[in-house]
């Protein structure tokens, strides 16, 4: 099967070949012919399966240069907006089509200037809404709207913004939802905004398991030491480490650096330019370990991430799936390693219940316990009038952060 068989024009397939993209992935095979007919769609497939091209190619095939904003791609984060805009730009170099991206945290005026001549706009919901309300973004010529990572946008509370934007676009538009998971809210949103949508669902391939999932059970105050041990022992190309709070990403990165591991942090408190620089430096391997929160790492695809660590497990299974999807991309091997303390056993159970034999528990090896580690002291609970061990990991980590700053 080739992209030409799916109905993609020769100019575009040529562009794809320049990037060594020759054979469509499963989700591309199933969605591209449908989308070329103009049908609405809800598509689900795992991260790294090539969803961007599913919508990018049909859109690029239809857009006419200089006829106003004809296509809108709504995405949850700035990083993803940039990444997708870049894909569009990459494959339309010879087409004179303008793709621009808009997101918060940067000046409006630049984006407003660019909007005047844009054919395709990729953006985050808040900024799109802002531009729409200021009448800088004219949605009257829109022919297609894509919600990429629809599940995460709903998780992030963008539902009202998205509904407002969709309502402002012509009813004749083609609408596409792409997601790694399809929770009930998406189906609900689909009923409201899609017309006779096709539903395409590609289950993860079972034959070729390139992602190995492991976990260790540890005490909370062993985690940093064990992480350092593991990072030194594993053959790491790039490692992405997830934790829950913005503040703690910094603390942990510093702790790793002090123990001989080149690390930096990525979180929502950083300015846009700082974030971009950090991601670029990581991609180029200037440091090997990036400590991030879920939101900061959402949608990033960095091909050489060999390891994903869950320093703390996320709150739900979907987030876990998204996190581990940051490695083993494009057929490469990857490892996802979780460090699990007792207060996380509930969510661990949901994860092992879902992934079954695909996730294995490993016995921890001997490792040096480092001096600085999370203090797990009893805490005087005023309202109860007695000492207790806090179960709240975040509080404990924040206390740890204060202790070390
Ligand atoms: P998803 O959105 O499903 O997580 P992406 O669209 O970000 O996945 O694609 C992941 C990676 O796979 C990108 O680097 C992309 O260039 C590459 N890719 C996409 N389609 C193909 C293909 N048909 N053949 C080879 N590589 C591909
Ligand atoms: Mg994607």
In CATH, the architecture of 3-201 is 3-Layer(aba) Sandwich (3.40)
Q: With pLDDT > 90 as the criterion, what percentage of the chain qualifies?
A: 70
Task: Give the angle subtended at the CA of 171 by the CAs of 59 and 202, to the nearest 5°.
Answer: 50
Q: Is 48 in the pocket of ligand 1 (CB under 6 A)?
A: yes
CA dist., res. 291 & res. 254, Å (int): 10
Please state the φ and ψ torsions of residue 201, each to the nearest 5 degrees.
-135, 115
Tell which wins on pLDDT, 8 or 385. 8
What band does 405 get if pLDDT is binned at 50, 70 and 90?
A: very low
Query: Given a cut of 90, is residue 63 above it in pLDDT?
Result: yes
pLDDT given for residue 109 in this prediction? 94
Nearest ligand 1 atom, CA 28: 23
Nearest ligand 1 atom, CA 27: 3
pLDDT given for residue 372 in this prediction? 63
Query: Given a cut of 70, is residue 374 above it in pLDDT?
Result: no
Task: Give the angle subtended at the CA of 398 by the CAs of 397 and 402, to the nearest 5°.
Answer: 115
Nearest ligand 1 atom, CA 330: 12
Please give the distance, rounded to the nearest whole angstrom, from the Cα atom of residue 52 to the centre of ligand 1. Answer: 7
215 CB-near residues (< 8 Å, 6+ apart): 310, 337, 338, 339, 340, 348, 352, 359, 360, 361, 362
Give the model confidence (pLDDT) of 155-172 as tens digits.
888 999 999 999 999 999
Decide: 216 and 222 in contact? Cβ < 8 Å: no
Q: Is 302 in the pocket of ligand 1 (CB under 6 A)?
A: no
Q: Is 53 in the pocket of ligand 1 (CB under 6 A)?
A: yes
Q: What is the mean pLDDT of residues 331-355?
A: 92
Tell which wins on pLDDT, 399 or 56. 56
Please give the distance, rounded to the nearest whole angstrom, from the Cα atom of residue 50 to the centre of ligand 2. Answer: 7
Task: Give the angle subtended at the CA of 117 by the CAs of 115 and 122, to the nearest 5°.
Answer: 45
pLDDT given for residue 265 in this prediction? 95
CA dist., res. 111 & res. 2, Å (int): 37
What band does 389 get if pLDDT is binned at 50, 70 and 90?
A: very low
Give the model confidence (pLDDT) of 269-287 as tens digits.
888 888 889 999 999 999 9
Nearest bound ligand to CA 27? 1
What integer best gives the mean pLDDT of the chain? Answer: 88
Nearest ligand 1 atom, CA 83: 7
pLDDT given for residue 190 in this prediction? 94
Nearest bound ligand to CA 25? 1
Give the number of other Cβ atoms within 10 Å of residue 257's Cβ: 15
Of 154, 168, 162, nearest in space to 69 by CA:
168
Query: Given a cut of 70, is residue 178 above it in pLDDT?
Result: yes
Q: Work out the burial of residue 114: count CB atoms within 10 Å of its CB; fewer than 13 is exposed, 13-18 middle, 19 or more buried.
A: middle
Please state the φ and ψ torsions of residue 305, each to the nearest 5 degrees.
-75, 110
pTM of the full structure: 0.61
Sheet holding 334-340, edge to edge: 263-266, 289-292, 238-242, 305-310, 334-340, 211-217, 359-361
DSSP H helical segments within 121-222, as ranges?
125-133, 150-155, 159-167, 184-193
Decide: 137 and 113 in contact? Cβ < 8 Å: no
Asked, colleague to colleague, whether 3-201 and 209-404 share their fold, the answer is yes
Q: Where are the domains of the chain?
A: 3-201, 209-404
Give the model confidence (pLDDT) of 14-62 as tens digits.
999 999 999 999 999 999 999 999 999 999 998 888 999 999 999 999 9
Please give the distance, rounded to the nearest whole angstrom, from the Cα atom of residue 80 to the centre of ligand 2. Answer: 8
Going by the DSSP 8-state scheme, the letter that residue 137 receives in this structure is: S
Give the model confidence (pLDDT) of 202-217 as tens digits.
876 544 568 899 999 9
Query: Given a cut of 90, is residue 254 above it in pLDDT?
Result: yes
Beta bridge partner(s), residue 387: 380
Which range is least confidently modeled, 132-136, 174-178, 378-382?
Answer: 378-382
Query: Given a cut of 70, is residue 384 above it in pLDDT?
Result: no
pLDDT given for residue 350 in this prediction? 92
Give CATH superfamily name and number for 209-404. P-loop containing nucleotide triphosphate hydrolases (3.40.50.300)
């Amino acid at each position: 099967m080739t992209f030409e068989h799916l109905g993609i024009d020769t100019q575009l397939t040529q562009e794809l070949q320049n990037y060594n993209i020759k054979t469509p992935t499963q989700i591309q095979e199933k969605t591209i012919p449908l989308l070329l007919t103009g049908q609405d769609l809800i598509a689900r497939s795992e991260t790294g399966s090539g969803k961007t091209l599913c919508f990018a190619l049909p859109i690029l095939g239809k857009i006419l240069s200089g006829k106003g904003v004809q296509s809108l791609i709504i995405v949850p984060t700035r990083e993803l907006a940039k990444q997708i805009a870049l894909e569009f730009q990459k494959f339309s170099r010879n087409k004179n089509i303008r793709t621009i991206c808009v997101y918060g945290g940067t000046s409006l005026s630049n984006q407003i200037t660019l909007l005047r001549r844009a054919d395709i706009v990729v953006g985050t919901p808040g900024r799109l809404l802002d531009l729409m309300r200021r009448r800088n973004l004219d949605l009257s010529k829109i022919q297609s709207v894509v919600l990429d990572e629809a599940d995460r946008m709903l998780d992030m509370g963008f539902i009202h913004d998205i509904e407002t934007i969709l309502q402002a676009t012509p009813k004749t538009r083609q609408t596409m939802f792409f997601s790694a998971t399809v929770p009930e809210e998406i189906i609900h949103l689909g009923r409201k905004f899609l017309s006779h949508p096709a539903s395409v669902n590609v289950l993860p391939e079972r034959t070729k398991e390139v992602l190995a999932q492991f976990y260790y059970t540890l005490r909370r105050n062993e985690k940093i030491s064990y992480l350092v041990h593991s990072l030194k022992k594993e053959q790491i190309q790039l490692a992405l480490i997830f934790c829950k709070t913005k503040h703690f990403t910094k603390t942990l990165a510093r702790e790793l650096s002090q123990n001989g591991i080149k690390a930096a942090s990525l979180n929502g408190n950083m300015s846009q330019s700082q974030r971009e620089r950090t991601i670029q430096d990581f991609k180029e391997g200037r440091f090997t370990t990036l400590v991030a929160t879920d939101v900061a790492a959402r949608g990033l695809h960095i091909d050489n991430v060999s390891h994903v660590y869950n320093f703390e497990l996320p709150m739900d299974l979907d987030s876990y799936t998204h996190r581990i999807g940051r490695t083993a991309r494009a057929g490469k091997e990857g490892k996802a390693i979780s460090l699990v303390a007792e207060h996380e056993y509930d969510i661990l159970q949901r994860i092992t219940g879902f992934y079954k034999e695909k996730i294995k528990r490993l016995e921890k090896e001997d490792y040096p316990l480092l001096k600085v580690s999370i203090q797990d002291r009893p805490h005087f609970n005023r309202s109860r009038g007695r000492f207790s061990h806090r179960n709240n990991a975040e509080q404990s980590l924040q206390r740890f952060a204060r202790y070390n700053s």
